[in-house]
Chain A
């Protein structure tokens, strides 16, 4: 049992499940729906098994598998899990069944829809566990294709432009990433993340690039920055960092709710994961040269997105900007870690606080944002597609449970102590303040604005005089309550007792800091 290739099974289950579901044919879409749900629960169970067997104290890659794949390109099939991957794999396994349930009302071509959702999940698992660029990039792109079609075929009226914009933007990033990695392959003859990270740590990667490329007489430093820039572009678009974000609001707004949950809860994490798994270990030097501009970008992302959210009239767009804002904190944490003045033991504490906060924030934001979008989806279904900020009002009177439960999610997003969002944001700021005081101070403005627009959302939709149109608005159904109950319970649990999550990532964080910094 212990020799089972668990990660491969984990990736293959939704992949094969997805094809199976799609193969059922249009006539049996209700069965397809159930099958997809069952598949996602099997995957969740498998993930729980993996988490139970995961040794949090080790901090190294676990459940490793390695097989020769493409001898002529020195590509191995190599997978493994550390605390970071585990957290994201777990998040993926949690959010996917939520997304499937939130899409229960979709009947047109439901077998294709749910099949694509499962393929997307497989792509995410592959991305979060692969340790070789070739293999990783395969899944990175694999997740893009189902997402494109989910938006393109099931989205709201302006979906066509949104889907194209999403695909092309992401491909711009992907090509930058690809070119950067090919240059690195040329210099080092390896695609292996761990080997590249080792070279990066020793500073040999930058030197090797300069030795092999010799591009237009660029200096070693400039060349390294250019190659870093290519890889950076791929992740910056995916997260996204402002100004690479313009695809996001339209995409999140036009996608069907279930898909938006996957996009914000999971796919945005691919970008941050890339920063942590790839950029930080491979280019520690380059990132340290560029810390100030990177911090400026992070602060800009946090503040500008919060400001933009404040100006939105469409609830989905507002939450889309809020999502950018929350991931901005992750990047603030990551870049602040690089800004440490020396390797004094004091700064190590701050660094590990910030980095632990980042990892937790990934998980918490995934959970909270997906739940919030689920609520917006419920509202949209009831209101016949309306989701304007001013379309509602006073809903608390007709839908008190809706109001109360959504309130929990909103407060979690806002970072109220006692809920999960607080823990991670607190850790990030605790670490970032001493490391990059100016950046952290400016970012506080973002926190403030977040509170304003989220409270205004609650107020406009649920409080005030009841809008006559919605007198007959139904409260949450049993199914809907069942859907949001597990994430809400988790939010409370993590808020009160974050220790298990912290323990799971602690060893990984220490190793990343020792390795990368």
Chain B
């Protein structure tokens, strides 16, 4: 049944294209139906699976001469990320209910993207994985270029170019692996079991890892992310930050690290204390955490704050991967889930609840509006989302960061401390955005103090000019869905941990075990 998440999304996308142009409402409900179907399928698959088990969903011979199979399967990691995709897809549709410009095409492309993402998470054949990976890139371009805002053509093109360069690197690595392994198979399990020569792994690993990590926002290849997130329409930003960045991180773990575990081993020499690709990427990850946070701290555009915060948070995922500790890897996967939920929520508030109503995202413009009065629901949602993003206990991000940090203490104590500083930077920019956007005072015309001042205050009515459109029902449902998910995982992390943790016992992680995985 799990394979139907893919077919349902892609099928509905086709169906939407065939729908008459004026049936806008149908398009919305069809898309919502498909997304809900995907969510139900993924949730039931996750919660009915036995922890630690791997399940082949479908395996058909596809191109036998090249040993390529149509192989869909799922372990705990896949299931958790598929579940995240289901949640993000539903929430994204709820938050784009008001799209008035060509909604039919919008939802068709949206579902095509979702279908591709499901496909990547479920593929256990590398050729198939790559096909789905490319399927996911194309709709992104159109979603941003057609429905986007600020410099959308530029952002869409930048995103597409970065993605293609990344995939080209991945492709070279995969083809090389295929050839080196004898050209018989593209199956992940078989290739992972093949012991590639060390010299080969030493160059193939960074190639494939960076290829995927571009999409995960690895510093300094992250620059597509903020511009892309900002330009994209709300639902697309939610998916970009929430799910697409996870594709990159997932690829790093599932492909690069699994196939070429020896690429993580020391080079044999040290330069400035860096002795392996693992050290390099761990350092880049922490740089991303700190740099993303600091840049977010000085942004004037509300959406850029969130965009850079994504770079910072994805740094935790990459750092978790580089710890090579079970606990760090588990934390990385949980952080993928958590960030997917929280980033989606943040973008929903900024893009849909605020921008669509007041038509500005500039923090200096938002400041005098005191939106906590005009949009109390948005203020509460953003407050909770900020707390979750800061990594306050009780929300999913805390458990994930905790595990990543434990792993980091073991592998890189100094980086663990720097990451702690990164958390503080996160607190600073989160509070700043929260206060500026929602809880700022109108200095010139506050009710109490202005009367006493002798200054001739401008005759401005105390309330903002026009009452803002109230928060709609779909927005409320979407917010509650995401907040509930983050809280549930934060308060009872075993909900997901019991599926993620045993997945690392699978045979294809054997190679990593040499590097310290117990």
Interface residues of A in 203-227 (CB under 8 A from B): 212-213, 215-216
B492 near A: Cβ within 8 Å?
yes
Do A70 and B494 touch across chains, with their CB atoms under 8 A apart?
Answer: yes
| A215 and B411 alpha carbons, distance in the complex (Å) | 9
Do A171 and B393 touch across chains, with their CB atoms under 8 A apart?
Answer: no
Given A175-B420, A182-B405: A153 touches B439 (CB 8 Å cut-off): yes
What 0/1 pattern do residues 434 to 449 of B give for CB contact below 8 A with A?
0100011100000001
Do A168 and B427 touch across chains, with their CB atoms under 8 A apart?
Answer: yes
Chain B residues with CB under 8 A of A157 = 449
A199 near B: Cβ within 8 Å?
no
Do A72 and B494 touch across chains, with their CB atoms under 8 A apart?
Answer: yes
Chain B residues with CB under 8 A of A167 = 427, 431
Interface residues of A in 17-74 (CB under 8 A from B): 69-73
Do A145 and B498 touch across chains, with their CB atoms under 8 A apart?
Answer: no
B428 near A: Cβ within 8 Å?
yes
Interface residues of B in 409-439 (CB under 8 A from A): 409-410, 413-414, 416-417, 420-421, 423-424, 427-428, 431, 435, 439
B333 near A: Cβ within 8 Å?
no
Given A178-B402, A183-B409: A137 touches B427 (CB 8 Å cut-off): no
- Say how far B433's CB is from chain A's closest CB, in angstroms: 12
Do B414 and A138 touch across chains, with their CB atoms under 8 A apart?
Answer: no
Taking a contact as CB atoms closer than 8 A, the residue among A137, A153, A164, A213 that contacts B393 in the complex is A137
B394 near A: Cβ within 8 Å?
yes
| A142 and B398 alpha carbons, distance in the complex (Å) | 13
- Say how far B75's CB is from chain A's closest CB, in angstroms: 16
B11 near A: Cβ within 8 Å?
no
Interface residues of B in 436-493 (CB under 8 A from A): 439-441, 449, 492-493
- Say how far B301's CB is from chain A's closest CB, in angstroms: 21
A-side interface mostly = helix
Chain A residues with CB under 8 A of B420 = 175-176, 178-179
A8 near B: Cβ within 8 Å?
no
Do A175 and B441 touch across chains, with their CB atoms under 8 A apart?
Answer: no
Do A70 and B423 touch across chains, with their CB atoms under 8 A apart?
Answer: no
Interface residues of A in 176-213 (CB under 8 A from B): 176, 178-179, 182-183, 185-186, 212-213
A172 near B: Cβ within 8 Å?
yes
B389 near A: Cβ within 8 Å?
no
| A300 and B403 alpha carbons, distance in the complex (Å) | 38
Do A142 and B435 touch across chains, with their CB atoms under 8 A apart?
Answer: no
B503 near A: Cβ within 8 Å?
no
A134 near B: Cβ within 8 Å?
yes
- Say how far B415's CB is from chain A's closest CB, in angstroms: 11
A467 near B: Cβ within 8 Å?
no
B497 near A: Cβ within 8 Å?
yes
- Say how far B300's CB is from chain A's closest CB, in angstroms: 18
Chain A residues with CB under 8 A of B492 = 69-70
Do A215 and B439 touch across chains, with their CB atoms under 8 A apart?
Answer: no
Between B409, B428, B431, the greatest number of chain A beta carbons within 10 A of the residue's beta carbon is seen for: B409
B40 near A: Cβ within 8 Å?
no
Do B493 and A73 touch across chains, with their CB atoms under 8 A apart?
Answer: yes
Given A71-B494, A164-B431: A182 touches B409 (CB 8 Å cut-off): yes
Chain A residues with CB under 8 A of B441 = 160
Between B392, B428, B449, the greatest number of chain A beta carbons within 10 A of the residue's beta carbon is seen for: B392
Given A175-B424, A179-B417: A186 touches B410 (CB 8 Å cut-off): yes
Interface residues of A in 73-127 (CB under 8 A from B): 73
Taking a contact as CB atoms closer than 8 A, the residue among A164, A183, A185, A212 that contacts B435 in the complex is A164
Taking a contact as CB atoms closer than 8 A, the residue among A70, A73, A171, A216 that contacts B424 in the complex is A171
Chain A residues with CB under 8 A of B413 = 183, 213, 215-216
Given A172-B424, A178-B405, A185-B406: A215 touches B498 (CB 8 Å cut-off): no
- Say how far B455's CB is from chain A's closest CB, in angstroms: 15
Do B439 and A152 touch across chains, with their CB atoms under 8 A apart?
Answer: yes
Chain B's closest residue to A187 (CB) is B409
| A183 and B399 alpha carbons, distance in the complex (Å) | 15
Between B399, B420, B424, B492, the greatest number of chain A beta carbons within 10 A of the residue's beta carbon is seen for: B420
Taking a contact as CB atoms closer than 8 A, the residue among B399, B414, B423, B493 that contacts A175 in the complex is B423
| A160 and B367 alpha carbons, distance in the complex (Å) | 13
Given A72-B498, A73-B493, A168-B424: A215 touches B406 (CB 8 Å cut-off): no
| A213 and B421 alpha carbons, distance in the complex (Å) | 19
Chain A's closest residue to B493 (CB) is A70
B387 near A: Cβ within 8 Å?
yes
Interface residues of B in 38-81 (CB under 8 A from A): none
Do B498 and A71 touch across chains, with their CB atoms under 8 A apart?
Answer: yes
| A152 and B423 alpha carbons, distance in the complex (Å) | 22
Do B393 and A134 touch across chains, with their CB atoms under 8 A apart?
Answer: yes
Chain B residues with CB under 8 A of A179 = 405, 409, 416-417, 420
A314 near B: Cβ within 8 Å?
no
What 0/1 pattern do residues 141 to 179 of A give for CB contact below 8 A with B?
110010000001100010010001001100110011011
B501 near A: Cβ within 8 Å?
yes
Do A168 and B428 touch across chains, with their CB atoms under 8 A apart?
Answer: yes
Do A213 and B402 touch across chains, with their CB atoms under 8 A apart?
Answer: no
B185 near A: Cβ within 8 Å?
no
- Say how far A232's CB is from chain B's closest CB, in angstroms: 15
| A167 and B387 alpha carbons, distance in the complex (Å) | 12
Do B409 and A186 touch across chains, with their CB atoms under 8 A apart?
Answer: yes
Chain A residues with CB under 8 A of B435 = 152, 160, 164
- Say how far A488's CB is from chain B's closest CB, in angstroms: 33
- Say how far B468's CB is from chain A's closest CB, in angstroms: 17
- Say how far A301's CB is from chain B's closest CB, in angstroms: 24
Do B410 and A212 touch across chains, with their CB atoms under 8 A apart?
Answer: yes
What 0/1 pattern do residues 366 to 405 of B give for CB contact below 8 A with A?
0000000000000000000001001011100001001101
Other 8 A-B pairs with CB < 8 A, given A160-B435, A168-B428, A178-B420: A69-B492, A69-B494, A72-B330, A72-B494, A137-B393, A138-B393, A142-B394, A178-B405
Closest CB pairs A-B (n = 5):
A215-B413, A138-B393, A72-B497, A175-B420, A171-B427
- Which residues of chain A have a CB within 8 Å of any CB of chain B? 69-73, 134, 137-138, 141-142, 145, 152-153, 157, 160, 164, 167-168, 171-172, 175-176, 178-179, 182-183, 185-186, 212-213, 215-216
